[in-house]
Chains A and B, each alone.
Chain A
Amino acid sequence: MTATTQEPRTSPEIGGLGHSRRRVEDARFIEGQGHYVDDIELPGMLHMAIHRSPVAHAKILSIDTSEAEAVEGVLAVVTGELLANYNLAWMPTLSGDTQAVLATDKVRFQGQEIAAVIATDRYVAQDAAELIRVEYEELEPIVNPQRSLEADAPLIRDDKEGQESNLCYEWESGDKEAVDAAFAGAAKVVSLETFYPRSHPAPLETCGVVADVNSATGQANIYMTSQAPHAHRTVFALVAGLPEQNIRIISPDIGGGFGNKVPVYPGYVVATAASLVIGKPVKWVETRTENLISTGFARDYYMKGDLAVDGEGKILALKVDMISDQGAFFADAQPSKFRAGLFHIVTGSYDYPAAYVTTRGAYTNKAPGGVAYRCSFRVTEASYMIERLVQNAAYEIGMDPAEFRAKNFIQPEQFPYMSPTGFVYDSGDYEKAMRLAMDMVGYDEIQKEKEQARAEGHLVGIGMASFTEVVGAGHGEEYDILGLKMFDSAELRVHPTGKAILKLGVRSQGQGHETTFAQIVAEELGIPASDVKVVEGDTDNTPYGLGTYASRSTPVAGAATAIIARKLRDKAKKIAAHLLEASEDDLEWEPGKFTIAGDPDSSVSIQDVAFAAYTNPPPGLEAGLEGVNYYDPPNMTYPFGTYIVVVDVDPESGQWKVRRMVAVDDCGVRINPMVVEGQIHGGLAEGYAMSSMQYITFDEAGNCIGSNFMDYLIPTAWETPRFELGETVTPSPHHPIGAKGIGESATVGSPAAYVNAVVDALQHLGVTNIDMPVSSDRVWAAMEGAKAG
């Protein structure tokens, strides 16, 4: 258990925990020397373009590639039929389903991969891809899960033996009986039906691969946009039948991941197969339209929640029913035991004994996905549900929403807290964070202003969200993806001159691991962070890990790093004792130095020890100073916080503007405060985007509306609000350095805060809900609707 203070223990020169160390990775990016997949050029490299289906649901009657093959510069046109000869037309998904690599029998979503052209130049590849002629017999497209689950809906997955309906999964958690009893005795039941619309991570770098399979040696070097290179390597070995030792996945610099780069996409597989057959490197980098229409989307969740409350405003129980739209294939990257991810944390930050959560997933004629976009495996959906429900409950009971929360928060002394759906929250002080946020925003003053404003016909709203995150997947007993347990790893080696190299099983896409993980080593070993090189992403050169997503790097690989550094420190102590000719028990440690207790002149630095590890190791002790740790986390970690948003709504146009956004986060010990704040800024902006404008929808014909950046709206610096950040620090008791992870907190917690603020501005008019995106037309429609009804 580490100190709660955020004062660094090490000097700025050493740069351990708590220092806002400037980033190591910046040096190359600011000179345009980033090394992204599309920057890679190999001798003889070919280019691939994919021909995609314009229709959402259809039988494929014929595919004619002859015109495409005749285009000068085209080397090959690959179809599903061709791949089927290598047993590659279908591949497993990370959820244990199967997914078409290239469609053979049917097309199941608009934008699905039909065929691929390999050519000398990407312009030529696109020319040829256009000339592929496909005959379709269209079928009824299913664009929502409600239709999908109707008895007479056409079967989408008729390729799956035994699949008789479009039901993809069914899963539940909690105690129905206890909940029914609680509801029976409740003074009030508050209900909310809400839809969390489809969104897309849309990192600025799209997905891509350069597959280089050497026909002479059998070595397959696959450069790909991958957040989980080792898991991908294993999947490639299983899918492509290539021996795993010959597969090297190299995930170079990644221009944003946000969960979009966790799944294995058909393009990767086809490019690899093409390289294998043709014997040359093949590059495939998707366009933005391809990215939005076919890769892992996020959310698309219909939720109905009921909250039972007693006469004093105490929550008694929660019931939630959910249907998720899974698209044409069940391809979520999430722990296999939890078919709805960690949605069952929908109980939130509140203390009550009973909850019952029922979930179903449906196949539809849309791209596969759902778990992505900084969601911590569906915690975005869960957090949104409970924080909207709690806000509405406060209105119905006639309590201030902050006081309602305070009355129901899990109290600090209750941790570790077992939730009604089986989560063991590690630590928290929810009211402290909330009060700090209220202080920062001037909550009481704004509530007064609101009353005044209403009298004058202005609309001001203040909305809050007090979220609890669950990250750091995860303990081996419960967490695996495709059977791979969700440990993570750190391999640390100290060189004779006292410098070090740290190799990790995770993979940053902008989170700054090269900077922050070195700080963990600096903290534990006193080696200056600038002397520690951090390596990720090359499966030949790093220990096995499950990658970076769901905010798991710090909780898991960060723990592994601290532990292996401590192990090395233990060995260093032995070497130090040998050098000082003293007993280990007589030695004291301060960052970077061992000293004989009571004899300050008798000391050796960690650098002296490192040198000695190679030149003068104690007899009986192995030379070197290195080791690897595979960390199986004992539990998840639970970052939390309170966000408060103040909005002004134009009653005539329905447009709204964020006046204030105050965010208090508690992610335990912060390795690098500057980096942590950057992560929060990004998440708050994404939350704003989702609450105000980001939206992918489908028309009745199955056409995707939102398949390019003209229709799928990402806010610019002009719309994005300013943010005010605050912090509390409640360390995780089970994490070696007390850190909890921060990457997704703001994306998880903020949408409800924004929406609660707008609803709050209109609440006196009778508005109780507006589904996201809360666009100006929806605000106006809600006001009109409340007037009428």
Chain B
Amino acid sequence: MNITVTVNGTEHTADIEPRRLLVDFIRSTLKLTGTHIGCDTTSCGVCTVLIDGTPVKSCTMFAVQANGRAITTVEGLKQNGALSPIQEAFKEHHGLQCGFCTPAMMLVGTALIAENPDPSEDEVRWGISGNLCRCTGYVNIVKSIQAAAAATREAANS
């Protein structure tokens, strides 16, 4: 089946079979390997991408469902060659160790901040409760997202 999907602002057309998972389409067809696969029961969240700004587990969606939609992956966080506030924050606050859950965490954090510009620690923890991490114990991920929220607020105010 032919589909057209916009990914990080670029339109892609492909002929794929219906059962191809969106995460596979992103990784194997589009060669964007920043989105990861970590489980087979929709439990871990490392496959999370944004569809029209909303976090979605791309392993539990078929690529054909994304026909005509706009997707943001981790590769689309950088804007005009500059790291986004969330990327800067994760680096500054040691929000990652092995890096496998990081793209998902940053995308979910970005969506969270868009909806709630000043999230409390509880709100961040709740917001990322669909995404697992094995390395960090979540402490610095939460810190990073809150720092990114602060930086985003500051940029908006200036």
**Could you list which residues of chain A lie within 8 angstroms of chain B, going by C-beta atoms?**
22-23, 25-34, 36, 38-39, 41, 123, 201-206, 253-256, 258, 287-289, 509-512, 674-675, 677-679, 681-686, 708-710, 714, 716-718, 720, 722-723
**Chain B residues positioned under 8 Å from A723 (CB to CB):** 137, 139
B83 contacts the other chain (CB 8 A): yes
Q: Which A-B residue pairs are the 6 nearest by beta carbons?
A: A32-B34, A510-B98, A255-B100, A29-B99, A685-B137, A709-B43
Q: Name the contact of B125 in the complex, choosing from A254, A288, A679, A718 (C-beta under 8 A).
A: A718
- B36–A36 CB distance below 8 A: yes
- B140–A681 CB distance below 8 A: yes
* Bound CA span A545–B135, Å: 24
**A412 CB to nearest chain B CB (Å):** 30
* Bound CA span A678–B98, Å: 11
- A709–B137 CB distance below 8 A: no
**B52 CB to nearest chain A CB (Å):** 20
Interface of B, helix, strand, loop or mixed by DSSP? loop
**Chain A residues positioned under 8 Å from B38 (CB to CB):** 204-206, 255, 288
* Bound CA span A710–B141, Å: 23
- A509–B139 CB distance below 8 A: no
- A717–B138 CB distance below 8 A: yes
* Bound CA span A123–B32, Å: 19
- A714–B97 CB distance below 8 A: no
Q: A204-B36, A716-B128, A718-B125 are in contact. Are A34 and B138 (CB under 8 A)?
A: no
- B41–A674 CB distance below 8 A: no
**Chain B residues positioned under 8 Å from A38 (CB to CB):** 27, 33, 36-37
Q: Mark B15-55, 1 if CB is under 8 A from A, else 0.
A: 00101100000011001111111111101101000000000
- B97–A717 CB distance below 8 A: no
B101 contacts the other chain (CB 8 A): yes
**Chain A residues positioned under 8 Å from B28 (CB to CB):** 41
Which of B19, B41, B129 is the most central at the interface, judged by chain A CB atoms within 10 Å of its CB? B41
**Chain A residues positioned under 8 Å from B126 (CB to CB):** 717-718
* Bound CA span A683–B133, Å: 12
**Chain B residues positioned under 8 Å from A716 (CB to CB):** 125, 128-132, 138
B64 contacts the other chain (CB 8 A): no
Which of A23, A29, A255, A509 is the most central at the interface, judged by chain B CB atoms within 10 Å of its CB? A29
- B41–A33 CB distance below 8 A: no
Q: A22-B92, A30-B96, A39-B33 are in contact. Are A204 and B134 (CB under 8 A)?
A: yes
**Chain A residues positioned under 8 Å from B90 (CB to CB):** 26, 30
**Chain B residues positioned under 8 Å from A678 (CB to CB):** 94, 97, 135-136, 139-140
Q: Name the contact of A717 in the complex, choosing from B40, B100, B103, B142 (C-beta under 8 A).
A: B142
Q: Name the contact of A708 in the complex, choosing from B32, B36, B41 (C-beta under 8 A).
A: B41
Q: Mark B110-152, 1 if CB is under 8 A from A, else 0.
A: 0000000000010011101111111111111110000000000
Q: How many A-B residue pairs have CB under 8 A?
A: 177
B75 contacts the other chain (CB 8 A): yes
- A204–B101 CB distance below 8 A: yes
Q: Name the contact of A123 in the complex, choosing from B20, B41, B92, B124 (C-beta under 8 A).
A: B20
Interface size on B, residues (CB 8 A): 58
15 contacts between A and B (CB under 8 A): A30-B87, A31-B77, A32-B32, A32-B77, A204-B36, A204-B46, A204-B100, A509-B98, A674-B94, A678-B140, A681-B139, A682-B137, A714-B132, A716-B128, A722-B121
- B41–A710 CB distance below 8 A: yes
- B98–A205 CB distance below 8 A: yes
**A736 CB to nearest chain B CB (Å):** 25
- A203–B83 CB distance below 8 A: no
**Chain A residues positioned under 8 Å from B92 (CB to CB):** 22
B37-89 interface with A by 8 A CB criterion: 37-41, 43-44, 46, 73-75, 77-78, 83, 87
* Bound CA span A39–B36, Å: 9
**Chain B residues positioned under 8 Å from A683 (CB to CB):** 137
- A682–B94 CB distance below 8 A: no
Q: Name the contact of B91 in the complex, choosing from A30, A206, A510 (C-beta under 8 A).
A: A30
**B101 CB to nearest chain A CB (Å):** 6
**Chain B residues positioned under 8 Å from A23 (CB to CB):** 91, 94
- B35–A717 CB distance below 8 A: no
- B73–A289 CB distance below 8 A: no
- A256–B39 CB distance below 8 A: no
Which of A123, A205, A512, A717 is the most central at the interface, judged by chain B CB atoms within 10 Å of its CB? A717
- A36–B100 CB distance below 8 A: yes
**Chain A residues positioned under 8 Å from B77 (CB to CB):** 30-32
* Bound CA span A31–B74, Å: 6
Q: A253-B99, A709-B43 are in contact. Are A32 and B73 (CB under 8 A)?
A: yes
- A512–B128 CB distance below 8 A: no
Q: A256-B134, A682-B137, A708-B43 are in contact. Are A205 and B36 (CB under 8 A)?
A: yes
- A708–B40 CB distance below 8 A: yes
* Bound CA span A720–B137, Å: 7
**A460 CB to nearest chain B CB (Å):** 22
- B34–A34 CB distance below 8 A: yes
**B138 CB to nearest chain A CB (Å):** 4
Q: A253-B99, A708-B39, A709-B39 are in contact. Are A717 and B141 (CB under 8 A)?
A: yes
Q: Name the contact of B87 in the complex, choosing from A31, A288, A714 (C-beta under 8 A).
A: A31
Q: A22-B91, A714-B132 are in contact. Are A511 and B97 (CB under 8 A)?
A: yes
* Bound CA span A23–B90, Å: 10
- B135–A682 CB distance below 8 A: yes
* Bound CA span A375–B134, Å: 15
Closest to A30 in B: B87
* Bound CA span A205–B140, Å: 20
**Chain A residues positioned under 8 Å from B96 (CB to CB):** 26, 29-30, 510
**Chain A residues positioned under 8 Å from B140 (CB to CB):** 678, 681
- A709–B44 CB distance below 8 A: yes
- B132–A256 CB distance below 8 A: no
Closest to A713 in B: B43
Q: A26-B91, A678-B140, A685-B137 are in contact. Are A32 and B97 (CB under 8 A)?
A: no
* Bound CA span A123–B138, Å: 34
* Bound CA span A25–B135, Å: 15
Closest to A123 in B: B19
Q: A32-B73, A204-B46, A710-B43 are in contact. Are A510 and B124 (CB under 8 A)?
A: no
- B102–A30 CB distance below 8 A: yes
* Bound CA span A254–B100, Å: 8
Closest to A685 in B: B137
- B75–A289 CB distance below 8 A: no
**17 extra A-B contacts, CB within 8 A, seeds A28-B99, A38-B27:** A27-B91, A30-B77, A30-B83, A30-B102, A31-B83, A38-B33, A41-B28, A41-B31, A205-B36, A258-B134, A288-B44, A678-B140, A682-B135, A716-B129, A717-B141, A718-B125, A723-B139
Q: A32-B75, A720-B137 are in contact. Are A204 and B87 (CB under 8 A)?
A: no
B5 contacts the other chain (CB 8 A): no
- A512–B19 CB distance below 8 A: no
Q: Name the contact of A31 in the complex, choosing from B19, B75, B129 (C-beta under 8 A).
A: B75
- A204–B34 CB distance below 8 A: no
**Chain B residues positioned under 8 Å from A511 (CB to CB):** 97
Q: Name the contact of B36 in the complex, choosing from A26, A255, A674, A722 (C-beta under 8 A).
A: A255
* Bound CA span A710–B130, Å: 13
* Bound CA span A206–B39, Å: 8
* Bound CA span A678–B140, Å: 8
* Bound CA span A678–B94, Å: 7
**A297 CB to nearest chain B CB (Å):** 15
- A717–B125 CB distance below 8 A: yes
Q: A31-B87, A254-B98, A709-B44 are in contact. Are A510 and B135 (CB under 8 A)?
A: yes
Q: A32-B103, A39-B33, A288-B41 are in contact. Are A682 and B129 (CB under 8 A)?
A: no
**Chain A residues positioned under 8 Å from B100 (CB to CB):** 34, 36, 203-205, 255-256
B106 contacts the other chain (CB 8 A): yes
- A33–B34 CB distance below 8 A: yes
**A20 CB to nearest chain B CB (Å):** 8
Q: A26-B90, A717-B128 are in contact. Are A256 and B98 (CB under 8 A)?
A: yes
